[in-house]
């Protein structure tokens, strides 16, 4: 299982690669195609729509093909679409390619999260999502180097497509490992029945968990999307400095997941959620208070560190809360709710900012943290999971 775990880590790096590519490339794409900055929103929403669809379909795909084959086909689809992106000459083509790009990502996310939650300890779940952060950090650097040279934004997409293609070959070679692992996967060996989405939704606590995921991922997205604007508009940083300093939030999240993976060896997932919510709440309060600008930088680091363990811990608790048979359907539904929250809540925040001011942003983040925490505690009452039972697999 150790060799397979390395493959899974590589897969999650590849999952993070496309997620930050579009935003990094968009200024150059918009200039070349005569588009506006706001036109990015539609393409991004179509990508998310594809991700939500494939998350919801993941339980059927995994039942029919197995985790390994779903992984291989999804990575191949992503590699092909990224390559096609590099040849796109119009906004319509970008929108058409956005849907299959999202379809490739959602199945990988749900499949990997479900498999790791059932077969590995909570520490690996945190490190897995740290690897996503590595991928999301690498791709803008690749795009930046490509833009600085003669290849332009198409060259950046071709490079990442090549990386995804290389991973496809690795995954194809690892298929025997997946076959052996799937035979001992609790979903296959102990629970022969795969429960679908409709039946899973009747599981006590699952709808509450979906709402909690929407809140937690919503606050994560809002904090990141509005960071530069808030630092510039309310804390007095110039635009270039604000854009650079906004990365403190993502740095906090990535490093936080690396550290929380170590902490998770000794600390149970439910406690990690509580600690994460506490740190994130402190970060949101620091951001909201009229303090000197340096405090806002510390606030974003705290928000990132606090956010770090929440999502992986919530995912790792899925089989424990809802049972192994329901776990894969529950995973896909939770992923769909998370992506929906990350898509809808940042633009809704923009509407509130338009009618009030940027001052409302930290209060929205704070409200989502507190609501997400309340819902996460409510899940355990509905499922009657004990603290001892949440210590890890």
> How many structural domains are present in the chain?
2
User: Comparing 190-199, 213-222, 239-248, which segment has the lowest mean pLDDT?
Assistant: 190-199
Nearest residue to 110 (alpha-carbon basis) of 277, 283, 388, 338: 338
Same domain, 204 and 167: no
Query: What CATH number did the domain enclosing 122 receive?
Result: 1.20.1250.20
Looking at 174-268, list the stretches that DSSP marks H as alpha helix, in order from N- to C-terminal side: 175-184, 186-189, 197-200, 206-225, 227-235, 239-245, 247-263
- Model pLDDT for residues 15-46, shown as the tens digit of each residue: 888 877 777 787 788 889 998 866 777 887 88
- Structural domain ending residue among the three candidates 147, 182, 217: 182
Residue 195: enclosing H or E segment and its boundaries?
A: none
Give yes or no: residues 70 and 214 share one domain: no
- Distance, CA of 155 to CA of 262 (rounded, Å): 38
Closest CA to 264 of 110, 128, 113, 114: 128
3-state secondary structure of 312: helix
Contact call for residues 77 and 103 (beta carbons, < 8 A): yes
Give Cβ neighbours of residue 287 (< 8 Å, ≥ 6 apart). 230, 296, 299, 300, 303, 361, 362, 365
Same domain, 250 and 105: no
Residue carrying the six token digits 């690897």:
131
Q: Is residue 171 part of a domain?
A: yes
C-alpha to C-alpha distance for 125 and 191, rounded to whole angstroms: 22
Indicate whether 192 belongs to any domain: no
Supply the mean pLDDT for the chain. Answer: 84
Please name which of 60, 135, 140, 74 lies closest in space to residue 102, comparing C-alpha atoms.
74
Percent of the chain whose pLDDT exceeds 70: 93
Of residues 194 and 11, the one with the higher pLDDT is: 11
Indicate if 206 and 77 belong to the same structural domain: no
- Domain shared by 177 and 232, yes or no: no
Considering the domain architecture, whether residues 117 and 242 belong to the same structural domain is answered as no
What is the separation of C-alpha 245 from the centre of its chain, rounded to a whole number of angstroms? 21
The string of pLDDT tens digits covering residues 265-284 is: 888 889 999 999 999 999 99
| Helix (H/G/I), strand (E/B), else coil: 120 | coil
Name the band, by pLDDT with cuts 50, 70 and 90, for residue 387.
Answer: very low
CA distance 108 to 207: 22
68: in domain? yes
Closest C-alpha among 225, 177, 208, 197 to residue 23? 225
Say what the pLDDT of residue 133 is. Answer: 75
Residues 244 and 268 in one domain: yes
Cβ-contact 258, 239 below 8 angstroms: no
> Does some domain include residue 242?
yes
Q: Are 29 and 120 members of one domain?
A: yes
In a domain, 297, yes or no: yes
pLDDT tens readout for residues 82-134: 999 999 999 999 999 999 998 887 777 777 877 888 777 878 887 877 887 77
Task: Specify the pTM.
Answer: 0.77
Question: Do both 252 and 321 map to the same domain?
Answer: yes
Instruction: Clarify whether residues 174 and 216 are in a common domain.
Output: no
Distance, in Å, from the CA atom of 281 to the CA atom of 321, rounded to the nearest integer, reads 25
CA atoms lying within 13 Å on the CB side of residue 36: 4
Q: Is residue 270 part of a domain?
A: yes
- Tokens in use for 52? 């939500």
C-alpha to C-alpha distance for 296 and 259, rounded to whole angstroms:
22
Q: Where are the alpha helices (DSSP H) in the chain?
A: 2-19, 21-33, 40-65, 67-85, 91-119, 122-148, 152-173, 175-184, 186-189, 197-200, 206-225, 227-235, 239-245, 247-263, 269-288, 293-316, 318-322, 324-355, 360-383
Question: In angstroms, what CA-CA distances link 9 with 102, 103, 171, 182, 327?
Answer: 20, 20, 12, 17, 21
- Cα separations (Å) of 42 from 38, 116, 319, 325? 8, 32, 35, 36
* Token couple for 23: 């935003």
- Residue where a domain terminates, one of 149, 182, 215: 182
Give the residue from 182, 206, 227 where a domain finishes: 182
Residues 222 and 178 in one domain: no
**What are the pLDDT digits (tens) for 167-211?**
899 888 988 888 887 777 666 654 445 677 888 888 999 999 999
Query: How far is it, in rounded angstroms, from Cα 167 to Cα 148?
Result: 26
Question: Which range marks the domain in which residue 103 is found?
Answer: 2-182
Residue 187 lies in a domain: no
Residue 354 sits in the same domain as residue 214:
yes
Question: Is 58 among the domain residues?
Answer: yes
């Amino acid at each position: 299982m150790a060799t397979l775990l390395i493959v899974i880590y590589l897969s999650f790096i590849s999952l993070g690669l496309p997620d930050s590519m579009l935003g990094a490339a968009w200024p150059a794409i918009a200039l070349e195609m005569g588009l506006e900055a706001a036109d990015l929103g539609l393409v991004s929403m179509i990508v998310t729509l594809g991700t939500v669809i494939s998350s919801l379909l993941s339980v059927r795909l995994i039942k029919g093909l197995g985790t390994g084959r779903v992984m291989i086909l999804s990575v191949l689809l992503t590699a092909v679409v990224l390559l096609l992106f590099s040849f796109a000459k119009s906004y319509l083509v970008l929108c058409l390619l956005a849907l299959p790009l999202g379809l490739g990502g959602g199945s990988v996310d749900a499949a990997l999260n479900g498999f790791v939650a059932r077969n590995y300890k909570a520490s690996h779940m945190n490190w897995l999502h740290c690897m996503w952060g590595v991928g999301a950090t690498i791709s803008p650097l690749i795009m930046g180097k490509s833009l600085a040279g003669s290849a332009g934004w198409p060259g950046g997409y071709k490079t990442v497509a090549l990386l995804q293609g290389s991973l496809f070959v690795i995954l194809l070679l690892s298929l025997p490992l997946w076959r052996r692992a799937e035979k001992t996967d609790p979903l296959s060996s102990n629970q022969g029945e795969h429960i679908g989405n409709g039946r899973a939704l009747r599981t006590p606590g699952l709808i509450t968990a979906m709402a909690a995921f929407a809140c937690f991922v919503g606050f994560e997205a809002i904090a990141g999307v509005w960071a530069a604007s808030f630092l510039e508009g309310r804390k007095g940083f110039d635009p270039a400095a604000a854009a650079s300093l906004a990365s403190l939030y993502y740095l906090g999240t990535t490093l936080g997941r690396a550290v929380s993976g170590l902490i998770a060896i000794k600390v149970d997932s439910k406690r990690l959620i509580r600690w994460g919510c506490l740190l994130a709440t402190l970060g949101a309060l620091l951001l909201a208070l009229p303090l000197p600008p340096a405090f806002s930088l510390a606030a974003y680091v705290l928000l990132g560190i606090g956010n770090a363990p929440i999502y992986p811990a919530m995912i790792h608790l899925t089989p424990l809360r809802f049972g192994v048979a329901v776990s894969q359907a529950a995973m896909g539904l939770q992923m769909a709710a998370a992506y929906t929250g990350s898509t809808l809540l940042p633009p809704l925040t923009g509407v509130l900012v338009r009618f009030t001011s940027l001052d409302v942003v930290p209060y929205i983040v704070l409200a989502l943290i507190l609501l997400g925490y309340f819902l996460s505690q409510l899940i355990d009452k509905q499922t009657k999971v004990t603290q001892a039972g949440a210590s890890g697999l």
